Amino acid sequence: MLQEASRAINSAFNNSFIKKLSQYLHDCVREEVKSSTFRNLKGDKDNKWIFLKGEEQLFSTGAEYIPLDGSDPKLTELMIQSDLGQKDKYLIYGYLFLVGKSSKTKKQNEFLTPLLYLPCKLERNGVNINCFPLDEVLSLNTGALAALMRKNDDEDEVDLLLEGILDVVPDLPITQEKLDIFLTTLKSLVPEIEIASSIDDYKEDDNISKSKDFYKEKIDGENLDELIEEEEAEQEKQKVKLEKVAVTYQSAIILTKRPSVTAGVLHELTQIAEKPSGVYRETALSIINEEYAQSKEKSVPLKDMNKVTDFYPITPLSLSDSQLQVVKNIDNSKFVAVQGPPGTGKSQTIVNLVAHLVANGKTVLVASRMDKAVDVVAERLNDLGASHMALRAGRLNYQRQLSEELNNLLSQNSELDEDVEDILLVDTKDMKDHLDMLKNMENKSETIIKLEKEWHDKLLEVKEQEKLLGNREFIKASLKKGEIDIVAGIIKILESNMEKAGFISKIANFTSLGQLKKILNLKEFDVTFENLGKLKQELEFANMEWTLRKIEADIQKTGNLHMLSEQIRTMKRKQKTLATNILKNKRREALKGLLRDENKRRRLKVHSKSLVTNRKRLQNNILEEEDFKPLLEAFPCWCVTTYAVSDSLPLKPGLFDVAIIDEASQCDIASCFPILFRAKKAVIVGDDKQLPHLSFLEKAKEQSFLSQYGIPDKYQLMWRFRTNSMFDLADYYSMNSVMLDEHFRSLPPIINFSNHEFYNDRIRVMRKDKNEDKVLELVEVLDGKVDFDATRNLPEIEAVVKRLHEIIIEDERQNPDNPVSVGIISPFRAQVEQLKVSVSKVLSDYMIKKHQIEIGTAHTFQGDERDIMLISWAFADNSFMQSLTFLQKPNLFNVAITRGRNKVINFISRNPRELPDGHFRNYVSYMQEYQNRKQAMLSGDIDENIYKNPLEREVAEKIRELDHKVVAGAEIAGLSADLLVDDRFVVEIDGVEDKNADRISNMKKQSIIERSGYKVKRITFREWQYSHKACLDRVLIED
């Protein structure tokens, strides 16, 4: 019995599915870090570096920056390339280079990498280019050292050795004493390393350009042998250097890829694996264990959130139905997946969700792999004006900024009551009252529109009956409902007495007849079957007339449709202000409560001081041991990248109420695991139709880890580290998934192909096409061809650069103060690199920055956009078919064609008719069809008007007679707007039957169209019958 209990306890602590997954993910990350190219800069051809001459200056002097030679073309090129590729690359300043080749490690490793480094930036200042450090703490290249130290498979030994070196990483500025301690420790732990005796020992070269360029240097008979000898000597010198590993005193500026995983992820995955399974129940990870225990998929019955009516969101920004669904769903689910196709407002959804949660007293962790995604959310949240709303953690120098914020907070107790008159009494109940009133107005409007249709239908019945009835003999005036009922009763009495004889029947007939003549104002009425039949027909018609009047009275009693529409618009504008004020008030009250608590104040002071200490271990200890809740009360929303979270937040289960992971399609599962551990619930935002995360882990290694930790076959499909992103995983575990379906970024011709090809036409395009402009262009470069050694199409590059130059010149002439932004995209790296060089030769640095010109592959532009996109497909007659297969990979292709807001210009070097079937052929055909249709519309060959009923045509013609442009059936946001007037507002025609009517409510349709930027006005059939002029005057009046 005791043994069974022991086994049960042991199982609970050690055999959970999450433990196995954590160990599996840990090994995947460790293996990928092992193969990282950062230990050898030569291992990735995209890496660029320049070694600086002379003694090291930046780390040893502690200067704010060091000036470099601005006339150096290599340095200038590095600066430009770093500006052009800020999203996926960054500059680092490195010192103490590990160079050479180790024959003593388990695998022979070649090294060319700095041991100490930090991020930096280059800025031109007159004749100089200044190099600025972007951090105050040096990073140690643990990946390279781990590779050097690994003699066998003993990872623990490597970890111990690394810990010994980490303890002696010097603080800035580096003194000779600090440097000696560091190098001596390194030598003692890795004896085979040679330490250079001077700066000139073991020197390496730049890779931007060689000292000897055989293509530029003139070669003649006299110097040929000399040049060959120099080159051979240089190669021999390289061979000698590669036979051992050395540390040089060189410093360099390096442009390399941004890291995706760090040592922090590895450490935290180990910690998660060691937790007892009961701890996981407090986190968003619990759904994984629960599903695994059930051994069946998505079987838990869920509340239908569409039927929830008593829900009152506190959202300061515009909210679509699908965005509202996200906010609703997190109240009922632990795990919500949100698919966000291009331009559908993912950031806005997150901001609204965070605002709602914080207003309801919740804490939120927002994370993403990409700095930009996190920055956008943090900035937009803080722009709402609520005090200490969101903290952007994990970025450079954030600890010092946080310390300053805390000190300011601790000293501003009295200032929290300033400027609060507008929000003093505002609370969530005010939002409930506001939304209830708004809903009531919308219901009234729907009721009126329904009654207007009933009035129209009844009027048609009345007119039809009037024709059949002819002249009325008995009922010549309108009757009230009571009179109609009395007359109907009299008719029944008279009919029943027709067959009877006797005194009583005559008395009843006499009384009824008198009453009938009085009501109908008749002098005589002969009681015959013919007259009674005629009277019944006239009474039925009178009842129809009464019903018509009753419907009209109900309309007037319910309200004025046009006043209600205006009130709804006003209420929706006020809703945003009210939400912001509630948020401000909630934050103010929370901060006042925090500052009144002496214990919490002291905790904040401890955190404030620890953040600026130079002792990293002390910082970490305080982070883990001190109560973190006061910091969450001070900043309820923390925004951080997945690779920086371990240095910013303690690894405590359920620390936050909700975690939101943005751009989750590009996030690997392993780096998101610690995020999910830190939260009780999770919202995962991404798009599996856009670019996935990249992994270089070997497939065989991944499979061996899956087998090693006993991951069942069913789960192997979902938990593959190499191919599955965090969004793929969330889509399986989420039981309340939502697709954001309103697209605001691009004009319809740009996004419509993607909508049809990849999203089954589920996206509403909220922007109206500009009929006068050509939004999509196809440029055929007839002489284009690709080089045989790389996918580079020089004639196409020339055409792209020429068109770019024309765009910039025209924009500078027409629009100098509001410059158009431009992006250039190509599927092929060689094409991109050549485009960067060519563009930098025709445009100055100033113009490139002014117009935000960025050049890259689809990966560069993931999550980004530009006013104008130029796409160089670099596909020609002599291209290999593998190139076509690559460029039309669905995810890559979808991202490439959806980055432009207002115009996309496509360059191809092959006859479109010769393209094989596939996405590319379909896209080119779509562009050609678009251009043909555009031409036909401009020439008047196509009538773009689509009338759904005769009244729309009648109203449209009357408006045109008053010199207004009208388009009937204009498509806006996937809906058919009845009449679009002057491309400024929409007139909806109510009360008549619509052919192909939209399957949503009238108020919902109005709301969607108005979110697209068009005011909606209404004309009803009933009002049109009374006065054409009154209707036209009302809708055409200038707002």
DSSP string, 522-568: -S-----HHHHHHHHHHHHHHHHHHHHHHHHHHHHHH--HHHHHHHH
Contact 189, 163 (CB under 8 A): no
> Mind listing the pLDDT tens digit for each residue in 51-87?
998 889 999 988 889 999 888 888 988 888 887 766 6
Residue 244 has pLDDT above 90, yes or no: no
pLDDT > 60? residue 224:
no
Name the amino acid, one letter, at 367: A
Phi, then psi, of 678 in degrees rounded to 5:
-85, 0
Give me the residues paired with residue 824 across strands: 855, 870
Q: What is the pLDDT of residues 339-380, one digit of tens each?
A: 999 999 999 999 999 999 999 999 999 999 888 889 999 999
How would residue 212 be classed by pLDDT, with cut points 50, 70 and 90?
A: very low
d(CA 165, CA 181): 10
Question: Distance between CA atoms of 934 and 777, rounded to whole angstroms?
Answer: 11
What mean pLDDT is reported for the chain? 84
C-alpha–C-alpha distance, residues 337 and 731, integer Å: 6
> What is the number of helices (H) and of strands (E) in the chain?
39, 26
| 881 to 410, 605, 888, 907: CA distances (angstroms) | 65, 64, 11, 18
SS3 445: helix
Residue pLDDT, tens place only, 179-203: 999 998 888 788 788 888 877 776 6
Report pLDDT digits (tens) over 634-684.
889 999 999 888 888 889 999 999 999 999 998 999 999 999 999 999 999
Map tokens 């969450």 to a residue: 632
Q: What is the pLDDT of residue 352?
A: 95
Residue 950 has pLDDT above 50, yes or no: yes
Residue 969 scores a pLDDT above 80? yes
With bands split at pLDDT 50, 70 and 90, how would you rate the model's confidence at 499? Answer: low
The domain over range 266-298+310-391+579-739 is classified in CATH as 3.40.50.300:
yes
* pLDDT tens digits for range 3-43: 544 444 444 444 689 999 999 999 888 777 655 546 788 87
CATH 3.40.960.10 maps onto the chain at: 950-1036
Within the chain, which residue ranges are assigned CATH 3.40.50.300? 266-298+310-391+579-739, 772-939
- 973-985: pLDDT as tens digits: 989 999 999 999 9
Helix residue spans in 94-175 (DSSP H): 142-149, 155-166
Q: Identify the three-state secondary structure at position 55.
A: coil
Buried-state track 728-740, b at ≥16 Cβ within 10 A, e below 16: bbbbbbbbbbbbb
Residues whose CB is less than 8 angstroms from the CB of residue 915 and which lie 6 or more positions away in sequence, other chains included:
884, 921, 924
pLDDT at position 299 is 44
**Alpha-carbon distance 797 to 816, whole Å?**
26
Residue found by looking up tokens 């002792």 in the block = 615
Say how far apart CA 1012 and CA 569 lie, in whole Å: 14
> Which of 168-172, 420-424, 726-730 shows the lowest per-residue confidence on average (mean pLDDT)?
420-424
Judge contact between 749 and 775, C-beta under 8 A: yes
Residue 407 has pLDDT above 90, yes or no: no
Q: What average pLDDT does this structure show over 829-853? A: 91
More confident position, 807 or 297: 807
Provide the β-strand partners of residue 1021: none
- Name the nearest CA neighbour of 442 among 310, 561, 305: 561
Q: What is the pLDDT of residue 694?
A: 74
Query: End-to-end distance of the chain based on CA atoms, in angstroms?
Result: 83
Residue 140 pLDDT greater than 70, yes or no: yes
Query: Residue 298: what pLDDT?
Result: 47
Give the C-alpha separation, 541 to 235, whole Å.
107
Q: Which helix (H) or strand (E) holds 643?
A: none
Candidate from 422-426, 446-450, 594-598 with smallest mean pLDDT? 422-426
Of 15-19, 34-38, 517-521, 557-561, where does mean pLDDT reach its minimum?
34-38
Residue 103 pLDDT? 66
Query: In the prediction, which pLDDT does 799 show?
Result: 95
Please write down the long-range contacts of 408-413, taking CB distance under 8 Å and 24 or more positions apart: 409/591, 409/595, 409/604, 409/634, 410/595, 410/601, 410/604, 410/605, 410/608, 413/592, 413/595
Q: Which amino acid is at 199?
A: I
CATH of region 950-1036, choose from 3.40.960.10, 1.10.10.10, 3.40.930.10, 3.30.1330.10: 3.40.960.10
- Report the range of poorest mean pLDDT among 383-397, 606-620, 815-829, 928-942: 606-620
pLDDT at 727 over 70: yes
Q: What is the four-CA torsion angle of 838, 839, 843, 844, rounded to 10 degrees?
A: -90
Q: Map tokens 């089954």 to a residue.
A: 760
The arithmetic mean of pLDDT across residues 456-485, rounded, is 89
For residue 170, what is the DSSP state?
P
Note the pLDDT of residue 405.
Answer: 80
Q: What is the assigned CATH class of domain 772-939?
A: alpha beta
Instruction: State the Cα–Cα distance between residues 210 and 204, nearest whole angstrom.
Output: 11
